[in-house]
Amino acid sequence: MANIDKINGISGFQGTDLSCGSVSLYGLRNFIDKVFVSSPNGTSYTVQTTSGANSPFAAVKNFDCGIGYIFFRAGAESSWSTFNIPNFEVGNLASTNKRCTTLFPESFTITGKGTFHLTSGADPSKVSPAWYSKMPVYKTANGSLSAWFDGSVYQISGSVGNKSGAINNSSYLPNAHYGDAKSSSSMIEISGFTGSSAAANGQYFEVGYLNKQPLFRNAKDGKFYYFFNGSTWVLSDTPITVNGNACYINGGSSKTGALDNSGGSNGKCFDGQKANVRDGAMDSRSLAVEDEKSLLSTEDKLNVMITEENL
Amino acid sequence: MALITTSKSLGWYGVHGASDCVSTSLPEQFGTYASNGSFQQGKSGLSESQAKLMSIWTMLPSGSAWPWNLSMEQKYRNHPIPSLRDLVKQHDSLKCGQMYWITWTGSSDLNIPGFIPTAFGVDMGRISD
């Protein structure tokens, strides 16, 4: 939460590692006059009065998670009082030294395609909205290729919105593998969940960092996160927290291994479930070589190379 | 790195990553003026005319919006009055853990490593220690 001091202008970001939820602008109308937020069109800011934020036609109704805002106080300065915005982090100069854990990668490399960088949107003169499908757009430094979300999966093509010559990755994330064109991002695979928890199975790709460890996100639909909380790895359906209404299951101190809530006391909503996490980049069978002459190496040099003879 | 490709962008500077965030000096990155008035090109390689198409704004601790741009550099960086020199020094770097909004009307993309742009309707991340 953030206590807002008695100053006129405040900039900040909604959502922390402890919790995040939408906060009604109308409920803050006695404290805040107007709120500015970047429009997805990339060429303007959307401006919303808090007193009008309860209108069915209001453009912005809440402080929503993962979005930056600027706002200005309501009323005369003499009437200002300190107030609180839950889950809001003030970003005025010198207010904080905190960092952002991104839920999408800052950059990634796809074999044969190049390195893609997060952008502030596609070229607004060619594509609308610039934040195509309200998702991050990526492009190579020379601008020859873009990665963009088509509403279902990410595509790589020469121009955003144009699927001519495109390849897709059948994923909610931009940095999942595009078929044979592999991603450079680190990856894990989770398997073993059953029933209603089976949606948490699958590939997870690194999208950010938390507690000096990668944050992994489910590639299929982006709805599950695997992160290190400082002592334990955790799988949660809520970004980087187990607070609030999060459904989660705890792992161990190692990134790989068992997620075990078979006893019902090692998580929430995953009752009776047990799954396994393995490093997706270190499938021993995928590293095996037929002639044993290829030089193989793993990231941590600890995994044993398995050759055909061993299988 | 993040590529600023749009004319308006609002975002957070400083990400958790394999390496820690470091501040970026805006004059060093995008240019400034020597005491004789000549333009000193920054690491970005932007020409004077291109660099003039950018303003990076922040909210001061006092709650006032404040820009950094080449006009501020030209007017105040080498001003004989110290208090006016201080005007440009109060915001001349991107500091980790702050919000900035950027106006950019140049023809190329602006590269700002560690800047996470945001937009209405897009959940980009969470803030933590």
ipTM for the complex shown: 0.95
CA dist., res. A234 & res. A111, Å (int): 30
pLDDT in tens, chain B (129 residues): 789 999 999 999 999 998 989 999 999 999 999 999 999 999 999 999 999 999 999 999 999 999 999 999 999 999 999 999 999 999 999 999 999 999 999 988 999 989 999 999 999 999 999
CB within 8 Å: B124 and A8: no
CA dist., res. A11 & res. A282, Å (int): 43
Q: Residue A249: what residue type?
A: I
CA dist., res. A38 & res. B115, Å (int): 14
Nearest CA in chain A to B23: A97
Report if residue B128 sits inside a domain. no
Distance from CA of B45 to the nearest CA of A (A): 15
Distance from CA of A251 to the nearest CA of B (A): 22
- Measured CA distances, A235 to A102, A267, B40 (Å): 17, 9, 50
Q: Please provide the average confidence, as pLDDT, over all residues in chain A.
A: 90
If asked whether residues A6 and A75 sit together in one domain, one would say yes
If asked whether residues A149 and A220 sit together in one domain, one would say no
If asked whether residues A6 and A85 sit together in one domain, one would say yes
- What backbone phi and psi angles, to 5 degrees, belong to A230? 110, -25
A282 interface with B at CB cutoff 8 Å: no
Closest to A44 in 3D by CA, of B128, B84, B114, B105: B105
If asked whether residues A199 and A276 sit together in one domain, one would say yes
- Measured CA distances, B88 to A84, A268, B27 (Å): 32, 52, 10
CB within 8 Å: B125 and A66: yes
CB within 8 Å: A13 and B128: no
Cα angle, residue A180 at apex, residues A178 and A182 outer, rounded to 5°: 60
Q: Which residues pair with B25 in a beta bridge?
A: B93
A291 pLDDT more than 70 = no
Nearest CA in chain A to B2: A118
pLDDT in tens, A250-287: 999 999 999 999 999 999 999 999 999 999 864 444 44
Chain A residues in contact with B65 by the CB 8 A cut-off are 9, 70
- Residue-level pLDDT at A1: 63
CA dist., res. A225 & res. A242, Å (int): 11
Report if residue A16 sits inside a domain. yes
CB within 8 Å: B120 and A240: no
Contact A71, A32 (CB under 8 A): yes
A243 interface with B at CB cutoff 8 Å: no
If asked whether residues A25 and A82 sit together in one domain, one would say yes
Report if residue B127 sits inside a domain. no
Report if residue A96 sits inside a domain. no
Domain range enclosing A57 = 2-90
Report if residue B16 sits inside a domain. yes
Report if residue A173 sits inside a domain. no
Report if residue A305 sits inside a domain. no
CA dist., res. A6 & res. A113, Å (int): 51
Domain range enclosing B90 = 2-118
77-96 in B: which are within 8 Å (CB) of A? 90-91, 95-96
A299 pLDDT more than 70 = no
- Residue-level pLDDT at A34: 97
Report if residue B18 sits inside a domain. yes
Report if residue B126 sits inside a domain. no
Give the CA radius of gyration of chain B.
15
CB within 8 Å: B15 and A102: yes
Which pLDDT band holds residue A67 (cuts at 50, 70, 90)?
A: very high
Share of chain A above pLDDT 70, in %: 89
CB within 8 Å: A39 and B63: no
- Measured CA distances, A47 to A28, A38, A58, A133 (Å): 15, 9, 10, 21
CB within 8 Å: B99 and A70: yes
Nearest CA in chain B to A140: B3
- Residue-level pLDDT at B1: 72
A47 interface with B at CB cutoff 8 Å: no
| Structure-token pair, residue B34 | 């020597």
Chain B residues in contact with A18 by the CB 8 A cut-off are 128
Pairing of strands A114-119, B2-4: parallel
If asked whether residues A79 and A136 sit together in one domain, one would say no
A53 pLDDT more than 80 = yes
CB within 8 Å: A68 and B120: no
Q: Which residues pair with B33 in a beta bridge?
A: B39
If asked whether residues A14 and A80 sit together in one domain, one would say yes
CA dist., res. A236 & res. A246, Å (int): 6
Chain B residues in contact with A144 by the CB 8 A cut-off are none
Chain A residues in contact with B126 by the CB 8 A cut-off are 15-17, 20, 65-66, 100-101, 103, 239-241
A40 pLDDT more than 90 = yes
Burial letters A160-193, b for 16+ CB under 10 A, else e: bbeeeebbbbebbbbbbbbeeeebbbbbbbbebb
Report if residue B129 sits inside a domain. no
| Residue A70 DSSP SS3 | strand
- Residue-level pLDDT at A95: 63
Report if residue B85 sits inside a domain. yes
Closest to B6 in 3D by CA, of A262, A130, A307, A249: A130
pTM across the whole model = 0.91
Report if residue A142 sits inside a domain. yes
- Out of A46, A92, A240, name the one closest to residue B59 (CB): A92
Chain A residues in contact with B18 by the CB 8 A cut-off are 209
Report if residue A46 sits inside a domain. yes
Nearest CA in chain A to B92: A93
Domains: count for chain A: 3
Closest to A50 in 3D by CA, of A79, A71, A19: A71
CB within 8 Å: A102 and B116: yes
Domains: count for chain B: 1
Report if residue B125 sits inside a domain. no
- Out of B111, B120, B124, name the one closest to residue A46 (CB): B120
Mutate one of B104, B111, B126, B128 to test the A interface: name it (highest A CB count within 10 A). B126
Among all chains, which residue has been given the structure tokens 């090109």?
B41
- Out of A38, A73, A141, name the one closest to residue B118 (CB): A38
Q: Residue B125: what residue type?
A: G
**DSSP letter string over A145-177?**
-EEEE-SSSEEEESBTTB-TT-EE-SSSSTTS-
Contact B33, B73 (CB under 8 A): yes
The H or E element spanning position B55 is strand B54-59
If asked whether residues A86 and A111 sit together in one domain, one would say no
A20-23 contacts at long range (C-beta below 8 A, 24 or more positions apart): A20/A65, A20/A66, A20/A87, A20/A238, A20/A239, A20/A241, A20/B126, A21/A65, A21/A86, A21/A87, A21/A244, A22/A61, A22/A62, A22/A63, A22/A64, A22/A65, A23/A62, A23/A63, A23/A85, A23/A86, A23/A87, A23/A88
- Residue-level pLDDT at B23: 95
pLDDT in tens, A82-113: 999 999 999 999 767 899 999 999 999 999 99
Report if residue A120 sits inside a domain. yes
